[in-house]
């Protein structure tokens, strides 16, 4: 026993210490025969006897051995372990029973070469462990792949952060072929008959892609495009397969899932090396695929498909017909595309019936290819009779306010290449509206850039509703840099015609900027910048507006009617009050904060021209805070500050030399002129302007050098009273003659106290024949006044002053003037005859 053990030890020592490097050339020849490839052994060779094993370090395997390649392009194997028979070690020969590849680094194609060569070997078991396979810019980590001589195989691989296990068996006899592959992701079963070179059978493939794992796996077989098309659900694919020397056919091909129903056929003719693929979809629910996919489809990923070249020997006709396509909550019923591959090129012709009356999309062009990448150049055309449906379908954030069906056409050239997409020579004609321009999207590893230029003619912006764009939360997720130069000529905005609007649109790092704005037209001569940012320091988008120039027509800011008037058929005013509509003109500020600065020589609002206009305001937390507003209206200077919320208001103001008719006309008073001074603080609350008017409170000081009212002559009235002889004359003077002239009130001075919407005013004044005081209560909600004018004067030949009272009551645009006739008569008529 001891002698046997000694022999074994000595034999192991002999085998171990034998210089196997001398057999490197012989071992290389054996491996090249096994792998049908050129082998480079760069490291040492070691052997063990007790567990028969030959370890070869640093091995490179080169397929296509006639081509010169860098070592980095070869299959690199850290260690090849060959387990030969025991006898072969004694004879110092190489008769492997199994081969293990450790720490292998390879590309996808070379891995397939290894598996294909060894799968035909019925003697040797193959084991690949702890290896890496490069897939484009990513890797597949192979934990273990076993290929046994009994045709069973199994494996454990890792792609990205996902782990996959699989096992299967291939059983090939003289009359049958059975293939069975099982995993949690896919189940593949092929059962067929075999007669010489002919194979007929049925293939059933079930895919469980609920976690989008298949999107990773399809990259392994160089079909990365499918990763964007396979829905996240269970998919069953079945087909009859016929193969012989002439080629193969897949007939009765069916694809079934909740979102896809399709059938078709594939025919490959080996003699002509040409294939035909025809697929008809009876259902494609793109909304379901998008909503249930964990993988976001990105244009950049789709463009990466062009990083691959079209094989020179590929001859293929690929035809797709589809109906019942669910997309954007609408159904498309006609899609056809035909792609013809030949001579490293592919011609593409596509038609799609869009929603709307006769709206059709066409795309035609050619994919050309070199040995490195591919690119598409073609033409895009959209035409139809329903522009509204076209816009709402592709740009759902834009609504068209009118229900008019317009014929339109859209043409452009398109170019797709790896990381580049350009749309040039864009021409859009919609009735009188015309757009032309170009756009280019380019991607790098760190960011993407959109460059473009557009010229738009005759745009009626009032036809479109862009309100959904006010919610700019999309800016947080927008990962493109944008530089688009835009020129709009003959623009209509809120019924105002703008001759030209030019700006440079820039988006970068969650910030949207309209730089170098230039506006010219009716009431416009302005320049400036507008910025929208989504900075970390703000919970809402921050809008920054900075405009400066000669003229700005503020009527493009559509304001509601503040005053409600009721007129008779003869245009006579019967009622005036503040608007009862709930505030909604401030609703859009809920979506953003803002800083606003406007400086212009003339700012037009309604029918007023505000000169030397300066506005400095901010919006925070749904509150408009006016830091300062200054302007000149006619000869008057106005300055105020304060805040406005949807339910309250506060302002502090100072007005100097303001023409009184400017304000009085708003409430139907047309017989006043002169300049007044006002200053004070006012606040209120409520849900409408009418509510505000009922809740006003504050203090106001007012004064004027001179205010003249036509249609009332108090000076003549006093003169007539002093000369009156009877009561009948007094009545005539008070009811008729008083309205035949005008009165100038001078040196007005007083103040008003406002509480619960009632403005209580006390004023002193002078007229030519008297001095006086006014005590008035004005209801701010309906502009009704209740007032007393007390006029003091000294009759001729008397030393003491007397007074008369005039009552002014009712609506301010048509108040009722009344006197105490008996009291006046008693004061002025001493002797009744």
Indicate the pLDDT class of residue 471, thresholds 50, 70 and 90: low
Asked whether the predicted pLDDT for residue 231 surpasses 60, the reply is yes
What's the mean pLDDT in 383-389?
Answer: 90
Alpha-helix residue ranges (DSSP H) falling in 532-649: none
Residues 6 or more apart whose CB falls under 8 angstroms from that of 393 comprise: 328, 330, 354, 355, 356
Q: The tokens of 794 are what?
A: 């000294």
What's the pLDDT at 18? 53
Residue 219 pLDDT greater than 60, yes or no:
no
Q: β-pairing, 96-107 with 125-135?
A: parallel
> CB–CB of 222/314 below 8 Å?
no
pLDDT at 8 over 60: no
Q: Return the number of other C-beta atoms located less than 10 Å from residue 540's C-beta.
A: 18
* Residue that has been written with the tokens 């003229």 in this structure: 551
Calpha distance 146→157 (Å, rounded)? 12
* Residue 701 scores a pLDDT above 80: yes
Q: Residue 262 CB: number of other CB atoms within 10 A?
A: 19
Confidence at residue 7, expressed as pLDDT on a 0 to 100 scale: 40
Question: 564: buried, middle or exposed (CB in 10 Å: 19+, 13-18, 0-12)?
Answer: middle
Length of the chain: 833
Q: Which of 331, 315, 220, 235 is nearest to 274 (CA)?
A: 315
Model pLDDT, residue 483: 93
Backbone φ and ψ of 805, nearest 5°: -110, 135
Whole-angstrom distance, CA of residue 734 vs CA of residue 808: 13
Lowest mean pLDDT among 391-400, 451-460, 511-520: 391-400
| 94 three-state secondary structure | coil
Confidence at residue 20, expressed as pLDDT on a 0 to 100 scale: 62
Per the structure block, which two tokens stand in for 116? 């294909």
3-state secondary structure of 87: helix
Encoding tokens for residue 558?
Answer: 């559509």
Q: Residues 457, 462, 463, 465: is their CA dihedral positive or negative?
A: positive
Cα–Cα distance, 342 to 311 (Å, whole number): 9
Strand residues in 606-671 grouped as ranges (E):
608-620, 623-633, 636-644, 648-659
Distances (CA, A) of 672 to 126, 576, 706, 749: 106, 18, 11, 17
pLDDT top residue among 618 and 405: 618
User: How much is the average pLDDT of 497-520?
Assistant: 88
Is the separation of the CB atoms in 163 and 156 below 8 Å?
A: yes
Residue 323 corresponds to which tokens in the numbers above?
A: 């109906």
| Cβ neighbours around 87 below 10 Å, total | 10
CA distance 75 to 625: 70
Distance CA 361, CA 407 (A): 14
Which tokens hold the place of 292? 């249930």
CA dist 223 and 23 (Å) reads: 43
pLDDT at 68: 60
Question: Percent of the chain, pLDDT > 90?
Answer: 31
Question: Is the model's pLDDT at 16 over the cut of 70?
Answer: no
The distance in angstroms from the start CA to the end CA of the chain is: 171
Q: Which residue has the higher pLDDT, 800 or 210?
A: 800
User: β-strands 274-285, 325-327: how paired?
Assistant: parallel
Task: Supply 234's token pair.
Answer: 């269970």
Q: Residue 92's pLDDT band (boundaries 50, 70, 90)?
A: low
- Report the candidate in 556, 544, 392, 530 with the shortest Cα–Cα distance to residue 468: 392
- pTM value is 0.72
* Cβ pair 71, 99 in contact under 8 A: no
- Strands in 716-822 per DSSP E: 742-755, 758-767, 770-779, 784-793, 802-811, 816-819
Q: What's the average model confidence in pLDDT over 560-581?
A: 76
Question: CA dist 686 to 582, 648, 691, 756, Å?
Answer: 9, 6, 5, 12
Q: Is the pLDDT of residue 474 over 80?
A: no
pLDDT value of position 682: 96
pLDDT average, residue stretch 106-116: 72
Among residues 401, 453, 447, 456, the alpha carbon closest in space to that of 423 is found at: 453
pLDDT for the residue 746: 93
Cα(693)–Cα(686) distance, integer angstroms = 9
Q: How far apart are CA 31 and CA 26, in angstroms?
A: 9
Q: Sort 475 into a burial class: Cβ within 10 Å, 0-12 / 13-18 / 19+.
A: middle
Better-scored residue on pLDDT, 523 or 573:
523
| DSSP-derived secondary structure for 212-269 | STHHHHGGGGT-GGGGGTS-SSEEEEEEEEEEETTEEEEEEEEEE-SSEEEEEEEEEE
Q: How much is the pLDDT for 6?
A: 38
| DSSP code for 478 | -
**Cα–Cα dist 26/28, whole Å:** 5
Of the pLDDT bands very low, low, confident and very high (cuts 50, 70, 90), residue 229 is low
Pairwise CA distance, residues 436 & 412, whole Å:
9
What is the C-alpha separation between 489 and 457, in angstroms, rounded? Answer: 5
Residue of higher predicted confidence among 493 and 24: 493
Q: Any residues with CB less than 8 A from the CB of 58 and at least 6 apart, and which? A: 41, 42, 43, 77, 78, 79
Residue showing tokens 């006739």? 821
pLDDT at 339 over 60: yes
List the single range of 76-90, 294-308, 438-452, 457-471 with lowest mean pLDDT: 294-308
Average pLDDT, the chain: 83
For residue 273, is it left (φ>0), alpha (ψ between -120 and 50) or beta?
left
Each residue's pLDDT tens digit, 128-181: 888 888 776 667 888 888 878 777 888 888 877 778 788 888 887 888 888 898
Residue 133 pLDDT: 80
User: Contact at 8 Å (CB) between 498 and 519?
Assistant: yes
The residue with greater pLDDT, 674 or 592, is: 674
Q: How far, in Å, CA of 41 to CA of 39, rounded? A: 6
What would the mean pLDDT of 302-325 be, rounded to a whole number?
A: 81
């Amino acid at each position: 026993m001891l002698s046997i053990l000694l022999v074994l030890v000595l034999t192991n020592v002999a085998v171990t210490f034998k210089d196997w490097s001398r057999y490197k050339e012989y071992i290389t020849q054996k491996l090249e025969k096994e792998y049908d490839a050129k082998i480079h052994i760069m490291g040492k060779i070691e052997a063990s006897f007790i567990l028969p094993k030959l370890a070869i370090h640093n091995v490179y395997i080169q397929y296509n051995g006639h081509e010169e390649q860098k070592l980095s392009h070869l299959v690199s194997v850290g260690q090849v372990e060959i387990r030969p028979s025991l006898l072969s070690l004694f004879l110092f020969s190489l008769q492997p029973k199994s081969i293990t590849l450790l720490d292998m680094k390879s590309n996808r194609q070379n891995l397939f070469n290894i598996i294909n060569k060894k799968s035909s070997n019925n003697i040797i078991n193959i084991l690949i462990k702890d290896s890496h396979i490069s897939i484009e810019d990513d890797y597949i980590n192979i934990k273990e792949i076993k290929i046994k001589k009994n045709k069973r195989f199994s494996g454990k691989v890792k792609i990205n952060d996902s782990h996959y296990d699989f096992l299967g068996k291939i059983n090939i006899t003289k009359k049958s072929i059975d293939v069975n592959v099982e995993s949690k992701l896919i189940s593949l079963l092929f059962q067929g008959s075999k007669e010489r070179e002919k194979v007929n059978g049925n293939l059933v493939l079930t895919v469980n892609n609920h976690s989008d794992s298949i999107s990773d796996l399809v990259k392994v077989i160089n079909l990365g495009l499918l990763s964007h098309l396979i829905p996240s659900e269970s998919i069953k694919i079945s087909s009859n397969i016929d193969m012989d020397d002439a080629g193969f056919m897949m007939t009765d091909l069916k694809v079934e899932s909740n979102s896809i129903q399709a059938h078709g056929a594939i025919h490959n003719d080996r003699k002509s090396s040409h294939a035909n693929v025809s697929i008809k979809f009876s259902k494609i629910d793109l909304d379901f695929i998008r909503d249930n996919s964990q993988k976001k489809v990105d244009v950049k990923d789709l463009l990466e498909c062009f990083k691959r070249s079209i094989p020179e020997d590929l001859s293929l006709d690929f035809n797709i017909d589809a109906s019942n396509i669910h997309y954007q909550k609408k159904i498309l019923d006609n899609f056809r595309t035909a792609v013809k591959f030949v001579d490293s090129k592919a011609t593409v012709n596509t038609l799609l019936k869009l929603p709307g009356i006769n709206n059709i999309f066409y795309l035609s062009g050619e994919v050309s290819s070199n040995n490195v990448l591919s690119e598409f150049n073609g033409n895009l055309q959209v035409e139809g009779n329903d522009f509204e449906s076209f816009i709402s379908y592709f740009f759902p954030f834009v609504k068209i306010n009118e229900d008019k069906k317009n014929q339109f056409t859209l043409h452009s050239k398109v170019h797709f290449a790896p990381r580049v997409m350009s749309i040039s020579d864009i021409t859009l004609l919609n009735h009188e509206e015309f757009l032309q321009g170009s756009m280019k999207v380019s991607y790098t590893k760190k960011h993407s850039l959109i460059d473009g230029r557009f010229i738009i003619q005759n745009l009626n912006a009032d036809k479109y509703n862009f309100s959904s764009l006010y919610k700019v939360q999309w800016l947080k997720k927008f990962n493109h840099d944008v530089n688009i130069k835009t020129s709009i000529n003959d623009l209509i905005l809120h019924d105002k015609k703008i001759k030209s609007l030019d700006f440079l649109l820039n988006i970068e790092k969650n910030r949207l900027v309209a730089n170098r704005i230039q506006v010219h037209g009716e009431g416009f001569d302005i320049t400036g910048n507008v910025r929208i940012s989504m900075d970390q320091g703000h919970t809402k988008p921050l809008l920054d507006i900075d405009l400066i120039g000669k003229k700005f027509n503020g009527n493009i800011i559509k304001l509601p009617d503040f005053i409600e008037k009721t007129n008779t058929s003869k245009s006579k005013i019967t009622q005036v009050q503040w608007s009862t509509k709930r505030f909604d003109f401030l609703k859009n500020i809920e979506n953003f904060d803002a800083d606003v600065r406007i400086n212009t020589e003339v700012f037009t609002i309604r029918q007023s021209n505000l000169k030397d206009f300066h506005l400095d305001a901010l919006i925070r937390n749904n509150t408009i805070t006016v830091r300062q507003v200054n302007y000149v209206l006619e000869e008057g200077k106005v300055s105020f500050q304060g805040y406005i919320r949807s339910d309250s208001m506060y302002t502090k103001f100072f007005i100097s030399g303001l023409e009184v008719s400017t304000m009085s006309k708003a409430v139907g008073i047309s017989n006043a002129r002169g300049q007044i001074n006002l200053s004070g603080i006012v606040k209120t609350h409520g849900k409408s302007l009418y509510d505000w008017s009922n809740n006003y409170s504050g203090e106001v000081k007012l004064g004027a050098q001179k205010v003249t009212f036509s249609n009332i002559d108090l000076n003549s009235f006093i003169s007539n009273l002093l000369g009156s002889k009877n009561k009948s004359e007094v009545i005539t003077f008070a009811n008729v003659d008083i309205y035949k002239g005008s009165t100038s009130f001078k040196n007005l001075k007083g103040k008003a106290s406002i509480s619960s919407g009632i403005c209580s005013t006390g004023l002193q004044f002078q007229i030519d024949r008297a001095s006086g005081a006014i005590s008035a209560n004005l209801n701010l909600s309906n502009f009704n006044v209740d007032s007393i004018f007390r006029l003091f004067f000294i009759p001729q030949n008397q030393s003491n002053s007397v007074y008369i009272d005039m009552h002014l009551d009712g609506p301010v645009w048509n108040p009722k003037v009344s006197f105490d006739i008996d009291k006046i008569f008693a004061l002025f008529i001493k002797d009744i005859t």
